[in-house]
Structure 1
């Protein structure tokens, strides 16, 4: 390896992963929901926010829709 590198001749290019970056959002979730995902995340050894994202991504991939009945 060289002791120093000359980056002055490098061409810049857009980040190829920019479209895959996550967007920060603020959500209000029930404490029991957060606790559920935190417990599951501990068991799986992943961050709970990543687990929630994976779950929601799976919902999108499977085109899941929530069945709700407001007439009761």
Structure 2
């Protein structure tokens, strides 16, 4: 081992990333981001953590087959919003 090292021509190497998480940039609808921020504030949590948890939950559910019960639940949740966006409360 030398008593002194010359770093005058040294170059900085790549930063070693943390294990388990990666920083990304994505486009999210404003309404989705606003809702996650509001829910996170009410829960006293970080919105990014809440989004990560929601994605994990979705991924674990997507491995499951679609059952009649699950389909009915999805329809009950989505149909009123869909009909409202069409400007009608009933089918034409």
TM-score bracket, shorter-length normalisation: 0.5 to 0.7
Cα distance, 1:48 vs. partner? 0.2
Aligned to 1:62, the other structure's residue is in SS state: helix
1:56 matched to which residue of 2? Answer: 55
What per-residue deviation string (whole Å, max 9, x for no partner) do you get for residues 10-65 of structure 1?
Answer: xxxxxxx93xx11111101111111000000011111000000000000011117x
> Which has the higher relative contact order, 1 or 2, with Cα contacts under 8 A spaced 6 or more apart?
1
1:28 matched to which residue of 2? Answer: 27
| TM-score after normalising by structure 2 | 0.46
Corresponding pairs, count = 46
Which consecutive aligned stretches of 4+ in structure 1 deviate over 6 angstroms post-superposition?
Answer: none
Cα distance in 2, alignment partners of residues 22 and 35 from structure 1 = 23
Bigger CA radius of gyration = 2
| Structure with the higher helix share, 1 or 2 | 2
Q: Which runs of 5+ in 2 are unaligned?
A: 1-17, 64-92
> RMSD value over aligned CA atoms?
1.7
Cα distance in 1, alignment partners of residues 32 and 24 from structure 2 = 17
| TM-score after normalising by structure 1 | 0.58
